[in-house]
Amino acid sequence: MQDAENPEMAGDFIRNQLGLPPESKNVDLGSLYDSLDVALPLRPDIVFQDSERVFFVEVKSTPVTIDTLARMILQRELWQKKPDRQAIQLVLAAKTIKTREELLARDLDIKVIKLPWSISTPKNLEYKSPKMRISSDKSWRIVTRLLKEKSTSIRQLAIKEEVSYAWAHKIIEILREQNVVKKDGGYVTVSDVKNLLNGIAWERPMRNLQVGEFFVHFSGSHSAAQEISRTLKEQNIKFAFTAYTSGGLYTSYAFRQDAIYLYLEKETIDQFKENFGSTQENTIRAVIYSPDRDVFSGVLEKESIVITSPAQTLLDLAGLGYSAMDLTTVMVEKYAGL
C-alpha cells in the first residue's frame, strides 16, 4: 500500500494509470514553457512525456466543472498551433466528477482518471506561474532593449536579451494592457513613456530601498563622488552611484549639487559612515540604498565616478517618481545612444 502522505504519490498513480514506464520523463513546467514559441496563459498541473506524446494532466481534488474542461481544451488548441510539436493527450485526474462532465470529457478526447480519496494531492503539485513585475531584472531587460531599439519584434527582443520568446511575449502583453507599448504588424514600440515611468514608480519605489541618509564631509557633490569612488575602489568595497548622480553624468542634463546617491551592501554602511560621515549639516547629503538585485556587475566609470549601468540608472530614476521626472524623461530620450 502506498503512503498517502507521499507528495509523489498522486503523480506516480497517474503515471501508472497511463501505462507509462517509470523512466518516462516528468517534464519541468518552467523549462517546458520557456522552450515554447508562444506564451500560454493556462498551464497543466503535471506534464509527462514519452517518445510519442506529451501528456497534459489536470489534477482536481475539488469537483470538475465545465470551465475545467474548457481550460484544458484551450491548452490543447494553443499547443497544437505549431504543427511540429509532439502529439498531445489531455488527462483529467479527479477525485470526484459528475456523469455529465465525465461523458463530455470523453467526447472531447480527454482521458479521465479517477483518483482514490486516500491519495494525497498536495497544493504545491499545481504549477503557479510567478507574478511578473515589469521592474524585475529579467523584465526590465526587455523594456530597456525596446527603448534602445525603439521599434523591433518580440523575437528580436528575446534573442538579444537571451530570454525565452514566451517571457518576452508575456511582458509585451502586460505593457500593452497598461497602454505602454503598441504593436504595428510584427513590430512593437513604446507609445507612452509616462505610463511606463509611473508604473515603475509604483512597483519599485526607491524609498523602499533606502537604508540611510547622512551628511558627508565634502563641499561639492561631484568631488565627493570622485573621492568616495577612489577610496572605496582601493578598499575593494562594492558600491555604485545611481539615481541623480549617475543620471546627471549620463545625460549632462542636471547634477545634484547638494547630495550623492549610491548603493552599498548593508554590512559596509557603518564603515562608510565612519570614513566619510560628518556632523556638519551644511555639507553634502549621502543617500544610501541597499541593492535588491545585482547592481554592481554592470558598473561603468564616468569622470572618475563609478556609476550603475544605464538600465539600472533609468530604473532607479523612475523609482524616485515625480521628483525626478524631468531627469528621467531626458534619460529615456537619450537612452538609445547610451
**One-letter amino acid identity for 6?**
N
Structure confidence by residue, pLDDT tens digits, 196-224 = 998 898 889 999 999 999 999 898 999 99
Looking at the structure, tell me whether residues 183 and 98 fall in a common domain.
Answer: no
CATH number at residue 305: 3.30.460.40
Residue 188 pairs in a beta bridge with: 152, 183
Looking at the structure, tell me whether residues 227 and 312 fall in a common domain.
Answer: yes
Residue 271 CA to residue 232 CA, distance in Å, equals 10
- Report yes or no on 265 lying in a domain: yes
Looking at the structure, tell me whether residues 79 and 100 fall in a common domain.
Answer: yes
Name the stretches of the chain with pLDDT < 50.
1-8, 34-41, 123-130
Which of 125, 151, 181 terminates a domain? The answer is: 125
pTM: 0.63
Looking at the structure, tell me whether residues 265 and 297 fall in a common domain.
Answer: yes
Looking at the structure, tell me whether residues 161 and 60 fall in a common domain.
Answer: no
Number of domains in the chain: 3
Residue 301 CA to residue 151 CA, distance in Å, equals 29
Looking at the structure, tell me whether residues 60 and 101 fall in a common domain.
Answer: yes
Looking at the structure, tell me whether residues 13 and 78 fall in a common domain.
Answer: yes
Distances (CA, A) of 109 to 17, 44, 64, 90, 91: 16, 16, 16, 7, 9
CB 154 within 8 A of CB 172: yes
Q: Could you identify the residue written with the cell 483518483?
A: 115
CATH number at residue 115: 3.40.1350
* pLDDT of 330: 96
- Report yes or no on 310 lying in a domain: yes
CA angle 314, 316, 319 (to 5 degrees): 110
H/E element, 305: strand 305-307
- In sequence order, what are the residues at sequence separation of 6 or more whose Cβ sits closer than 8 angstroms to the Cβ of residue 65? 101
**One-letter amino acid identity for 41?**
P
- Report yes or no on 130 lying in a domain: no
Which of 101, 125, 149 terminates a domain? The answer is: 125
Please, where are the H alpha helices in 235-309?
A: 243-251, 269-276
Identify the three-state secondary structure at position 313: helix
* pLDDT of 133: 85
- Report yes or no on 31 lying in a domain: yes
CATH number at residue 171: 1.10.10.10
Enclosing domain of residue 67: 9-125
Residue 327 CA to residue 338 CA, distance in Å, equals 15
* pLDDT of 137: 93
Strand ranges inside 168-267, DSSP E: 181-184, 187-190, 210-216, 239-241, 259-264
Looking at the structure, tell me whether residues 213 and 304 fall in a common domain.
Answer: yes
Looking at the structure, tell me whether residues 217 and 317 fall in a common domain.
Answer: yes
Looking at the structure, tell me whether residues 232 and 175 fall in a common domain.
Answer: no
Looking at the structure, tell me whether residues 103 and 223 fall in a common domain.
Answer: no
